[in-house]
Structures are given as C-alpha cells and as structure tokens.
C-alpha cells in the first residue's frame, strides 16, 4: 500500500511542478490550442492540471516530454538543425 501512496505523492509533485512552470513561464495573454479542446488561457490550463482531468493529464504529459527532450539533448539537436 505504501507504493500507491508514494505514486500519488509523486503525481502531486509533478502536477505542482507543471503548475509552477505554467504560472512562471506562460504569459497571461497567451492561448493554448489543444486539438478539439479549443483555446485556453493560462488560468484554464492551471485549473485543468489541478483537476487532473483529461486535458490536464495531456498538459502534464507534454511538459514531461519537453523536459525529457531537454535532458536528453534532443531539443538542442533540433534547434541546431534548424539554424
């Protein structure tokens, strides 16, 4: 049972990290478009992540993918190839 508790704690840490990142780096006037979900502002993104609904999980997933790309060097490789 302790494993499930640790998993929930990690999920909360990840959610809070994504919320902090959105709050710090996303301008208030920016709208994010996610497929059929339409456009949403910064506060809407944060609310979806807090709720942990489908949209919030997609936002978290994309942030994790971005961080993995940065850590692995894939983002840098992609940026260099464009230059």
Contact 49, 19 (CB under 8 A): yes
Which residue in this structure is represented by tokens 């936002």?
59
Per-residue pLDDT of the chain (83 residues; tens, 9 = 90+): 457 777 788 789 999 999 999 999 999 999 988 888 788 999 999 999 999 999 999 999 999 999 999 999 998 998 898 76
CA quadruple 13, 35, 44, 53: dihedral, nearest 10: -50
User: In terms of C-beta density within 10 A (0-12 exposed, 13-18 middle, 19 or more buried), how is residue 44 classed?
Assistant: middle
Q: How many domains does the chain have?
A: 1
Which pLDDT score, from 0 to 100, does residue 83 have?
Answer: 65
Which pLDDT score, from 0 to 100, does residue 3 have?
Answer: 72
Which pLDDT score, from 0 to 100, does residue 9 have?
Answer: 85
Question: Pick from 78, 51, 52: which is nearest to 65 by CA?
Answer: 78
Residue 27: give the domain boundaries. 2-82
């Amino acid at each position: 049972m302790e494993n499930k508790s640790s998993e929930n704690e990690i999920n909360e840490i990840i959610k809070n990290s994504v919320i902090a990142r959105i709050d710090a780096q996303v301008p208030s006037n920016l709208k994010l478009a996610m497929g059929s979900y339409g456009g949403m502002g910064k506060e809407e993104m944060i609310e979806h992540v807090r709720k942990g609904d489908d949209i919030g999980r997609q936002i978290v997933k994309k942030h994790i993918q971005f961080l993995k790309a940065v850590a692995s060097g894939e983002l840098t490789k992609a940026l260099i190839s464009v230059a």
